[in-house]
Amino acid sequence: MKYAALFLLATLTCQTLFAQTPAQVNNQPVEAQLIEHGSYTNKDGNSVHSPAHSKSGQAPRGATAKCRDGSYSFSQHHRGTCSRHGGVSEWLS
């Protein structure tokens, strides 16, 4: 009985993980929910989504700051965040 319960739990966990898109697993924004697209390489060598407006007006997954022009930043560092978007309006995380 224990093994059957463990097998069921493992199966459900795998189904949940594989049902998610790579963006959901990596906490990246979903492109279809954004108006602008693109990315840049940050000082750590990581690819980061460029600031973008969301279609819903709500903060997209992975956003770290809201810029003064209404776009959302996905920056991994505070320095330079929203620098071409009027500066940071508020930090989200």
- Residue 3: its pLDDT value, please? 52
Q: Is residue 43 part of a domain?
A: yes
- Residue 1: its pLDDT value, please? 55
Q: Is the pTM of this model over 0.85?
A: no
- Residue 2: its pLDDT value, please? 59
Range of the domain at 45: 28-91
pLDDT along the chain (93 residues), means of 10: 50 44 63 96 96 97 97 96 97 90
Helix ranges restricted to H, the chain: 2-19, 22-25
Q: Is residue 68 part of a domain?
A: yes
Select from 70, 68, 62 the least CA-distant residue to 39. 62
- Residue 67: its pLDDT value, please? 98
What's the domain count of the chain?
1
Q: Is residue 11 part of a domain?
A: no
